[in-house]
Structure 1
Amino acid sequence: MDISAFGEFELIARLTAGLAVPASGDIGVGDDCALLDLGRGDLLLATCDSQVEGVHFTLQSSPLEHIGRKTLAINLSDIAAMGGTPRYALVSLLLPPRLSIEALDGIYAGLRAQAQRFDTAIVGGNISSTGGSPQLVIDITLLGTVERGHALLRSGAHAGDLICVTGSLGDSAAGLQTFLRPAANVSPQDLQALRERHTSPEPRVREGQLLGSLEGGKVTAMLDISDGLSGDLTHLCERSGCGARVDLASIPLSSPLLRVARSLQHDPLDWALHGGEDYELLFTLRPSALDEVRSALQQQCATPLTVIGEIQPLTSGLTLSYPDGHSEPLHPHSWDHLKKENKV
């Protein structure tokens, strides 16, 4: 049996089933980062992620600097999802022989600029040839820290908590579609806005730090939206042992997304629910803290907070609530790295 018979998360479960139990205070597989207690000071955060040419980007459709910025941004987003501060990055490059030095310089310029913007030091890495493979692969390991007692996990949500997101959802998936399908009667401004959400996402580092700094357990659980709202909310509920209700009418959709959806005759909520790579923060919140947290995000980060639903008891499952009052089950249908159709 080859790995194509498995989904990504099935394979992760298989590979991690025999791992040693982390030491007391450590959290290994299951959150956006490994959380490691070295016995003094802040806790250590560790994450890694890869970008593969032809799967996550193409040299033809993505500006070179955007490739470098996105490769680090997705790791920065993992640190943000834990309420942490990025510190040190290690970069591994698997280089095909046909890659020009000019292309590599452009990619690295974007990577360095992103690191400098978020006070992250690139401290090492590795370079290897891909041999006969024509694909460029960039792999980053990112280390960060979080104040003891302030790490935000996926496992803290409780029935009655509000489900919240930063920003707007679905823009990255819509941007990808404009590369794959011509969108008639769409302005260059809308195309650029959506395509940049796909090729150069904004990691919500400041927002994550703010949410993690709040006292009194106001924010109860958090992760970033990388695989799609439906899939990532499922991960949060599985870790927290709860259900959830999502109010479709409350999901924040940008104006460029709505206009492109009309042009392509596509349901914009499909992109918002299942598209992935938005790298917005999905978090749960005690209802009494809503006004305080919304005000803080707006004033300190100029970032909107939208309540999109409520955490429910486990027996309620995951549901979508429609404006006319009826509900349907919410089935996760998100990015899976092992699916053959997931190519750009």
Structure 2
Amino acid sequence: MRIGEFGEFELIRRIGTFLPGPPGDVVVGIGDDVAVLNVSGPEYLLATCDAQVENIHFIRAATTPYQLGRKIVAINVSDIAACGGRPKWALVSLALTPDTGVDFVDGLYAGMQEEIHAAGASIVGGNLSGIRGEIVIDLSLLGTVSPECLILRNGARSGDLVLVTGTLGESRAGLELILRPELEVEQEAGDRVRARHLTPGARLREGRILAATGSIHAMADVSDGVLGDLGHICRASEVQAEIWPESLPISPECLRVAEVARCDAVQWALSGGEDYELLFTADPRRVPEIRGRLEAETGTSCHVIGRITGKGEAVLVRSREGMSSDYGRGPAGWDHFRAG
């Protein structure tokens, strides 16, 4: 069997079977977006890494090196944010062709430095390598979190409501405009959704505030799509969830692009991915307090989009008419080896 048939997440599980059990100082190991390590101090150490591969994650003609630099930092910071942590130190590895312009590297580091500084962290090292094909930018990020503020995927409980910050689907709408430049939409709408795709922002402050409430049971960032990332929470927590499509926060700009592209904005919101919003579960009795505090302290809204219904691992999309679809069998969001 080839990995294209196997899929990304089955491959991760298979890799895990070849590794010994984690030592006692590993709080969370392989299988999550962030490793959590007990380094015998007052805080846990967080470790994550992510790569941007040319013609898989980005098209060089459609983005600037500066935008790419910002994005590679933001997507890693987003993983730290979803744990309630603070980013600290980054290592960057570049695999470049010999004909890559020095100005590309200059722009890339200008973007990375701006984004890492805004997150309160620093780039402290890395590696350079030549490559014969598409370029690769890989970033590893270390951070910290107090044990009492750590939020993982595996704490969702039956009866929890499912919430998400901000809006969904705009990154996918931006990608649609990049891939189909002949589409004509109002400049303001086009600029907004393209920016959400090319230079996403991590909900770092929001993640720390949510963690500080002590009321969040499970959390992940929306990188693979709401269906995919809620599926990760459900599998880790051994629970089943339902999403209410009419409650998904979709902006007028996303709706407009979908209309012009003759696509379904709800589907973009469910499985488009790369929105980097925070997806979390909480006791319904605490939701008004959580929403009020988040908006008061950050200006960011959050929306109830579903609930945890009981034991299981499936994610259902349930409309007001009672119709449902089972998305629990296999990935419903981005999968590197099944995509396309």
Bucket of the pairwise TM-score, normalised by the shorter protein: over 0.9
- 1:251 aligns to 2:252 (yes or no): no
- 1:228 aligns to 2:225 (yes or no): yes
Contact 1:183–1:263 (CA<8 Å) still a contact in 2? Answer: no
- 1:278 aligns to 2:279 (yes or no): no
Query: Which deviates the most, 298-307 or 316-325?
Result: 316-325
1:42 matched residue in structure 2: 43
1:62 matched residue in structure 2: 63
Supply the distance in 2 between the matched residues of 1:79 and 1:156 (Cα, whole angstroms). 17
Query: CA 1:87–1:315 in structure 2 vs 1: closer, same or farther (change >3 Å)?
Result: closer
Q: TM-score, normalised by structure 1?
A: 0.94
Supply the distance in 1 between the matched residues of 2:255 and 2:290 (Cα, whole angstroms). 28
Q: How much does 1:173 deviate?
A: 0.8
Contact 1:69–1:111 (CA<8 Å) still a contact in 2? Answer: yes
Contact 1:32–1:81 (CA<8 Å) still a contact in 2? Answer: no
Supply the distance in 2 between the matched residues of 1:220 and 1:4 (Cα, whole angstroms). 34
Q: How much does 1:23 deviate?
A: 3.0
Query: Which deviates the most, 178-187 or 44-53?
Result: 178-187
1:173 matched residue in structure 2: 172
Note the residue ranges of structure 1 that are not aligned, 5 or more in a row. none
Q: How much does 1:17 deviate?
A: 1.4
In angstroms, what is the RMSD of aligned CA positions? 1.5
Give the 3-state SS of the residue equivalent to 1:261 in structure 2.
helix
1:161 matched residue in structure 2: 160
Query: CA 1:185–1:59 in structure 2 vs 1: closer, same or farther (change >3 Å)?
Result: closer
Supply the distance in 2 between the matched residues of 1:184 and 1:142 (Cα, whole angstroms). 37
Q: TM-score, normalised by structure 2?
A: 0.96
2:187 matched residue in structure 1: 188
Contact 1:297–1:304 (CA<8 Å) still a contact in 2? Answer: yes
1:289 matched residue in structure 2: 286
For residues 253-292 of structure 1, give each alpha carbon's deviation from its aligned partner in whole angstroms, at most 9, with x where no partner exists: 0110000111111110110111111110000011111111
2:22 matched residue in structure 1: 22
Q: How much does 1:77 deviate?
A: 0.4
The match for 1:329 among 326, 329, 333 is: 326
Q: How much does 1:316 deviate?
A: 8.4
- 1:113 aligns to 2:110 (yes or no): no
Contact 2:93–2:127 (CA<8 Å) still a contact in 1? Answer: yes
Contact 1:65–1:111 (CA<8 Å) still a contact in 2? Answer: yes
Q: How much does 1:10 deviate?
A: 1.2
Supply the distance in 1 between the matched residues of 2:119 and 2:75 (Cα, whole angstroms). 13
Supply the distance in 1 between the matched residues of 2:172 and 2:193 (Cα, whole angstroms). 8
2:10 matched residue in structure 1: 10
For residues 47-75 of structure 1, give each alpha carbon's deviation from its aligned partner in whole angstroms, at most 9, with x where no partner exists: 00100111111221012211000001110
Contact 2:238–2:312 (CA<8 Å) still a contact in 1? Answer: no
Supply the distance in 2 between the matched residues of 1:36 and 1:83 (Cα, whole angstroms). 15
